[in-house]
Amino acid sequence: MARFLAYIEPVAGRLYPLIPTLQEIARRGHHVTVRTGVIQSQLLKSIDIESDVLSPELAGFEPKDWQARTRFGALIAALNQFGRRAQPQRIDLDDAINTHHPDVVILDETSWGAAAAAEASGLPWAFSVPSPVPIPSADAPPFGLGLTPRHDAIGQLRDRLAAPLTLGTLGRVIAHHVNPVRADLHLPPLHTLEDFYLAASLILAFTSEPFEYPRRDWPLKVSLVGPGFWEPTVESPPWLGDLHRPVVLVTCSTAFQNDVRLAEVACEALADQRFDVVLTTGDVKLSTAAVPSNIHVEPFVPHTAVLERAVCTVCHAGMGITQKSLAHGVPVVAVPFGRDQPEVARRVEVSGAGVRLPARKLTTARLRTAIEEALGLRAGAERIAAAFRNAGGAPAAADSLELLVRGPSGGQASLK
């Protein structure tokens, strides 16, 4: 039996994709402990996963990136917010290692200070990556702007010019925060985004091709295991069983980003249409007093129950709800507002599994058109669903993590 310690930011979208893997590791007889936020720790204990709480200055997280003026600016703001947590993370992970004595450490990809501490510990450690993988590739455009893949001469020139502004900027932001921590630990500085990710023994990417751009040059440390799906057990509202028309699911972000406009435009676009609409708002509040009779609004509804009947999802292009929809063969209208969402939305478009509608172009008429177009892309969504099933899921992730225990220095997981 090996001991696994997961150190995860107190953000649902960072924890939930990993939970099936943690459950699979425990099912195989290993010991699993998670250090995360207060609410997340309570949730894990309710499903019989041992957990304790991050240090007080790390135990909560309120996104501020939605205040940025541009989509890329929002991504930079989010990185800086994570970066300011690096120094206390180093101390906190040291404490977690000394308390739990793990054989393997699993880290959220945004836990940069913890990554430095894990490297300094000498233990094998893995990054959990529930977002598009930002490692540069000759087969994919540089991460950050949601660029369309192009392999002609113009595309190659565009990518060479864009890379210093996108990947280069992201690498510099991370280095600014993490290199002082690394210096304190007598570790060499990191200079690029690739350096940062490849410092790990294993990169667990919770996605798969062809939703993720197919690449010939994946590093051996990257294991594409497909999405991890988990959601809290919440009783479905009684009215859900009374819906008899085609269902459209509309969702705002679970991590606040002020995307209330998505909900408002969806109400206008779908009012009195031929659909029953389930709208989950998260923490945003609808300003409209009257909601059309065919639209059912809740802060949260178990998405799986809705997706089993849905014909389309309209969402903010969050990686979690996007991949969950596609895993059910449901095409997506992806409306990115910031963070990694431009990258996710572009992957929806390129994979032929839905429609990308930039937030700045979001209007009632355009959303109606996008939904009608997405309805014709069910075959593309089902193709992605099949690829997700074939990626291996939690058993494949657990296999890769077990290799870290067996190898003399953690070893390397092969590409899945």
Q: What is the DSSP string of 355-413?
A: EE--GGG--HHHHHHHHHHHHTTHHHHHHHHHHHHHT-HHHHHHHHHHHHHHSTT---P
Indicate the pLDDT class of residue 236, thresholds 50, 70 and 90: confident
Give the pLDDT of residue 413.
37
- The string over 396-405, giving b where at least 16 C-beta atoms fall within 10 Å of a residue's C-beta and e elsewhere, is bbbbbbbbbb
Alpha carbons 197 and 199: distance in angstroms, whole number: 5
- Residue in the block written with tokens 């023994």: 201
Q: Tens digit of pLDDT for each residue in 248-263?
A: 999 988 777 778 899 9
CA 142 to chain CA centroid, Å, is 18
Alpha carbons 298 and 163: distance in angstroms, whole number: 41
- What domains are there in the chain, each with its CATH number? 3-226+391-406 (3.40.50.2000), 238-389 (3.40.50.2000)
Indicate the pLDDT class of residue 286, thresholds 50, 70 and 90: confident
Q: Is the pLDDT of residue 28 over 80?
A: yes
Alpha carbons 105 and 405: distance in angstroms, whole number: 10
The three-state secondary structure class of 15 is: helix
Strand pairing of 310-315 and 332-334? parallel
Q: What does the DSSP assignment read for 121-158?
A: HT--EEEEE-S-----BTTBPPTTS-PPP--SHHHHHH
Alpha carbons 51 and 40: distance in angstroms, whole number: 9
% of the chain exceeding 90 in pLDDT: 75
Q: Tens digit of pLDDT for each residue in 358-406?
A: 999 999 999 999 999 999 999 999 999 999 999 999 999 999 999 999 6
% of the chain exceeding 70 in pLDDT: 94
Using CA atoms, how far residue 64 sits from 256, 358, 367, in Å, is 8, 21, 27
Helices (H), 148-302: 153-162, 167-184, 193-198, 260-270
Alpha carbons 295 and 268: distance in angstroms, whole number: 10
Strand-pairing partners, residue 278, are 249, 296
- Residue in the block written with tokens 């150190």: 7
- Residue in the block written with tokens 């839905």: 354
Mean pLDDT computed over 43-65: 88
Mean pLDDT computed over 4-24: 95
CA 290 to chain CA centroid, Å, is 33
Sign for the pseudo-dihedral over CA of 314, 255, 309, 273: negative
CA triple 127-206-406, angle to 5 deg: 50
Give the pLDDT of residue 409.
45
Alpha carbons 246 and 379: distance in angstroms, whole number: 17
Using CA atoms, how far residue 374 sits from 32, 263, 330, 349, 389, in Å, is 41, 18, 9, 10, 22
Strand pairing of 31-36 and 50-53? parallel
Alpha carbons 201 and 221: distance in angstroms, whole number: 7
